[in-house]
């Protein structure tokens, strides 16, 4: 008696083979989804780190460009160096800057502030901090409010150019302002080999106290026309 081949079911070998193929496809699909998810998280983390570095660089650059200007260099303040105590990471910078926005609402204060930048390890994270002091005075202990402006900082580096060579420190006894200040900020978020790095240079070579005042220059131009 002949059996109808059209009604024959799958053999055990065929079922096992199909199950193995299905399991393999599922494993590959799950791995691909995990890789895509991890890649998206890495891109998002790197984007956040880069945004924080840009924000920090803009803040440091703004304070440097708004440095307190005085014909007497001794009345100005810009010092920086390397931290060797181990409490902080990399370089630090202190300067007098002019601010138009009050540090504390409703409190009397001038427009000259002392600002300090430094990196430190905080709760197992390295952060870049900014200290703002509304009442700077040479004989008073430094004070003010410390704010974290960037997290996961790998490097906060400074270099100062005196007109002949670059230096890693600019001590207070220099009694002068460097011609150039180079600032480098780098972050290293998890999962990235090359950290995002931002470097910029502020040029103080053209001394603002050597340039004639705009009103005096205008008077001189008018006198020449006469």
In this predicted model, what pLDDT tens digit does every residue of 18-29 receive, in sequence order? 677 777 677 766
Chain segment 7-52, per-residue pLDDT in tens = 566 676 666 776 777 776 777 666 666 666 555 555 566 677 788 8
Work out the burial of residue 200: count CB atoms within 10 Å of its CB; fewer than 13 is exposed, 13-18 middle, 19 or more buried.
middle
What confidence tens digit (pLDDT) does each residue in 72-126 have? 877 888 999 988 766 666 899 999 998 877 666 666 677 888 999 999 887 778 8
The dihedral built from the CA positions of residue 180, 170, 199 and 48, taken in this order, carries a sign that is negative
Q: What is the 3-state secondary structure (H, E, C) of 64-95?
A: HHCECCCCCHHHCCEEEEECCCCCEEEEEEEE
- At 203, the pLDDT band (50, 70, 90 cuts) reads very high
* Separation of alpha carbons 14 and 109, rounded Å: 84
pTM of the model: 0.70
> Which range (144-153, 166-175, 211-220) has the least confidence?
211-220
3-state SS class at 216: helix
CA within 13 Å, CB half, 209? 12
């Amino acid at each position: 008696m002949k059996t109808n081949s059209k009604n024959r079911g799958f053999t055990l070998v065929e079922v096992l083979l199909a199950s193995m193929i299905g399991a393999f496809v599922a494993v590959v699909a799950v791995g691909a989804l995990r890789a895509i998810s991890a890649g998206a998280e890495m891109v998002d983390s790197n984007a956040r780190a880069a945004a924080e570095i840009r924000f920090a660089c803009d803040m440091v650059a703004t304070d440097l460009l708004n440095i307190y200007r005085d014909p007497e260099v001794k009345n100005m303040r810009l010092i920086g160096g390397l931290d060797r105590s181990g409490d902080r990471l990399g370089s630090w910078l202190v300067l007098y800057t002019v601010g138009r926005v009050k540090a504390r609402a409703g409190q009397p204060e001038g427009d000259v502030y002392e600002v300090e930048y430094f990196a430190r390890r905080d709760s197992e994270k390295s952060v870049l901090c900014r200290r703002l002091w509304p009442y700077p005075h040479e004989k008073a202990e430094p004070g003010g409010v410390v704010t974290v402006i960037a997290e996961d900082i790998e490097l906060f580096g400074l270099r100062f150019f005196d007109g002949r060579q670059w230096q890693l420190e600019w001590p207070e006894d220099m009694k002068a302002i460097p011609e150039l200040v180079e600032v480098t900020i780098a972050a290293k978020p998890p999962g990235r080999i090359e950290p995002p790095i931002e470097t910029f240079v502020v040029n103080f070579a053209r001394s603002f106290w050597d340039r004639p005042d705009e009103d005096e220059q205008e008077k001189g131009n008018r006198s020449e026309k006469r």
